[in-house]
Amino acid sequence: MNTQTNWDYLTVQQFTEKHAAFTNGGMRSLIFNEDENGLSTAGAIVRLGRKVLINQVKFFDWLESQNKGTSSRER
């Protein structure tokens, strides 16, 4: 049986280097407020001791969900 799992976790630094649209400070703010903004519910943030890891797939799913229900005229 060949089961593949998507272990696509990055540290905040690795994430911001890979995705230049996001800054370290911006990501840390999102992580600090994860209970209020829904990131914790989405499962996008994982803690291993003091290390904070971001699941890219879940983060971008969460990001897309933040834009649901808004039309281009509302922006």
Q: What is the pLDDT of residues 39-62, one digit of tens each?
A: 999 999 999 999 999 999 999 999
Pairing assessment for the beta strands 51-55 and 9-11 based on DSSP bridges = antiparallel
How many beta carbons lie within 10 A of that of residue 40, not counting itself?
14
Asked whether residue 26 carries a pLDDT value surpassing 80, the answer given is yes
Q: Please tell me whether the overall predicted TM-score, pTM, comes out greater than 0.85 for this model.
A: no
Most confident of 3-7, 34-38, 66-70: 34-38
**What pLDDT, in 10s, does the model give residues 12-25?**
999 999 999 999 99
Instruction: Pick the closest to residue 13 from 22, 2, 4, 1 (CA basis).
Output: 22
